[in-house]
Amino acid sequence: MSNIQKQSRRVRLFLQLLFFVIPAGVVYFWLTAQTEFDLLTKAGVIQLSFNIDSLTQLNLSYTTRLLAAFASLLVASIVLYALSILIRLFRNYENGNIFTQENARYYQKLGYCLFYWVAGGVIYGGAISVILSFNNPPGERILSLGFAGIDFLTIVLGFLVLIISWVMKEAYQIADENSQTI
């Protein structure tokens, strides 16, 4: 087994682990947020882009926790989709299939995932602010939408990944044509 195949296997196994850890971590976080069991925030493993205390004046109810977990799992599903694509990509690398049209399609899907992630993040920010502030008295409920510099950078990265996928598709077609020429 070549070094590329060995490293691809390690990366694939790590990505498969993340595929299960991320949703479990999201559910764990929302079930334990603002309790003594919130070890992820206390240890600094999770840093939120919003402050729960600034959005709500009350302790989180079970309904609020479940709605927040559901909203977070929806945006996490974009990451899980990207992970599933990466798992398939690294499985191909592990099997020695590096420059294939299928891998070029995977790169294209990853580029689109970056766009979905930015859109999902903007929608999530609004949804989570409404969910967390819904129990506040009227006039103190919050709808917060945001677009940060990192979101712009993610969109640029998405375009770069799409260009790479396009170059890989073209390279595959040229190599395929050359292999059929006598």
Are 70 and 76 within 8 A, CB to CB? Answer: no
pLDDT at 48: 66
**CA-based nearest residue to 91, from 2, 7, 175, 176:** 7
pTM comes to 0.87
- When pLDDT is cut at 50, 70 and 90, the band that residue 14 belongs to is very high
How much is the pLDDT for 42? Answer: 74
- Cα–Cα distance for residue pair 155/177, rounded to 1 Å: 33
Task: For 140-180, write each residue's pLDDT tens digit.
Answer: 777 878 888 899 999 999 999 999 999 999 988 888 888 78
- What's residue 155's pLDDT? 97
The whole-number pLDDT of residue 7 equals 96
